[in-house]
Amino acid sequence: MSVQTADPTHYIEEKLVTGGKSYADVNNDVAAPVEKLPPLRWWICFGMALSAFGLGAILAGIMFARGLGVLGLNQPNGWGVFIVNFVFWVGIGHAGTLISAILFLFRQKWRTAINRSAEAMTIFAVMTALLFPLIHTGRPWYAAIWLLPYPNQRQLWVNFRSPLLWDVFAVSTYFTVSAVFWFVGLIPDLAAIRDRAKNPIRKFIFTILSLGWRGSNKAWSHYEIAYLILAGLSTPLVLSVHTIVSFDFAVSNLPGWHTTIFPPYFVAGAIFSGFAMVVTLLVIVREVFGLKHYITLNHLEKMNKIIMATGMMVGYAYACEFFIAWYSGNPFERFAFINRAFGPYWWAYWIMASCNVLIPQVFWFKKFRTSIPVMFVVSLFVNIGMWFERFVITVTSLHRDFLPSSWRYYVPTWFDWGITLGSFGWFFIWFLLFCRLLPVLAMAEVKSVMPEPHGKGGH
């Protein structure tokens, strides 16, 4: 539906919102789920999420009572599925801020349809991720406090040389900034719902949440500056947080961990997995909430392109690691990588390689990258592959390190899997609540990318 113009260099953007929607339609469509009781499908999903979380919580309770021995950890595998989950969830949490901050700064207007839910996903993913470093410690009741550098009369201090401490700062900063950024973006939409609200309770709650937003020109101009500043603040965090998470591995001296490529490799992987998760969620959300005209195939296709690009970056990193392992001449390093691909955990490596490198290649074809079933399946595979990437990094490096006498296989137990499932439950509880209680699209921003309403029929 592009318009012919005389100037061929003039870029006419494709329509970001289809279906001839008016501003009022946007409000009606987006606010609808907030204003009525959830359908049965939602309750079923919520019930499933709640039971998954309940199972995880019960297992975690048993774990706290009895000790970490219920997990599959051993010597030398000091870290296992919990750390894999931590890195996985932090990685998932990358897409949201990337979409809302970096794409905002680059004036990628198509982001408006997906940024709200992507940011929500980020926050919930980080909330999920934060559970794991805490519960994986032997004494979480102390770890929760002692990793914070607070002044105390015992003159105990934290070790600023430890990457785990950097993690504490990196992830908590990321969480705080993402949450603020998300909330600031929500304010005009919260006010819109407040204004629409007939139910006095809803009106009351949204009045408080919208912080007295009046939508005046002055307010908008301040608001947009604030949003820009926050986008600027968030941007370096997108890079820093996974860089620092990668330091957990890269700073250690374990063959397979001790690698300088880890920061860019981890960031690329995080964006890769984050986008895959966004695609997975949005495919469901646009279907369930009837937002197909706002979250269009066009949006999804763009994301699929990013998935393919980052997937190849990750693939490059895999190859590069092998090259360096050979080129360094370090026999420990060399062994670690051969062992990774052909050792006892070969299966995990090849699951990772095929899910992350091979499968996204289908997106070379427009037919596939615009096919909802294909992209849904591919995004799921990418999620699986990225989980295994972290598994491969964590476990295959640990299980065979320097002294062969201590080499040992690691097998996760039902507690590992149950608590992992619980973390998905926890994530989806929040996400499902978000879908029902807050506008899943940034209404105000979507309107800004729609044709202005003067004159019927549009262009």
Binding footprint of another protein on the chain (CB under 8 A): 66-69, 72-76, 78-79, 133, 136-140, 142-143, 146-147, 156-159, 161-165, 168, 248, 251-254, 328-332, 334-335, 398, 400-409
Q: Residue 345 in 3-state DSSP?
A: coil
Residue closer to another protein (CB basis): 163 or 315: 163
- What is the Cα–Cα distance from 195 to 397, expressed in whole angstroms? 56
Residue closer to another protein (CB basis): 76 or 274: 76
Peptide bond into 76 cis (omega under 30): yes
Residue closer to another protein (CB basis): 83 or 351: 83
Exposed, middle or buried: residue 61 (CB in 10 Å: 0-12, 13-18, 19+)? exposed
**Nearest distance from C-beta of residue 60 to another protein, angstroms:** 14
**Nearest distance from C-beta of residue 335 to another protein, angstroms:** 7
**Nearest distance from C-beta of residue 401 to another protein, angstroms:** 7
- What is the Cα–Cα distance from 62 to 415, expressed in whole angstroms? 9
- What is the Cα–Cα distance from 87 to 289, expressed in whole angstroms? 30
**Nearest distance from C-beta of residue 21 to another protein, angstroms:** 51
Exposed, middle or buried: residue 123 (CB in 10 Å: 0-12, 13-18, 19+)? buried
Residue closer to another protein (CB basis): 139 or 292: 139
**Nearest distance from C-beta of residue 414 to another protein, angstroms:** 14
**Nearest distance from C-beta of residue 266 to another protein, angstroms:** 17
Tokens 């050979």: give the residue.
326
Phi, psi at residue 5, to the nearest 5°? -130, 165
Residue closer to another protein (CB basis): 401 or 445: 401
Residue closer to another protein (CB basis): 23 or 169: 169
Among 271, 366, 269, 373, CA closest to 315: 269
Distances (CA, A) of 1 to 17, 274, 372, 380: 12, 31, 22, 32
Residue closer to another protein (CB basis): 146 or 376: 146
Among 309, 318, 313, CA closest to 363: 309
**Nearest distance from C-beta of residue 61 to another protein, angstroms:** 15
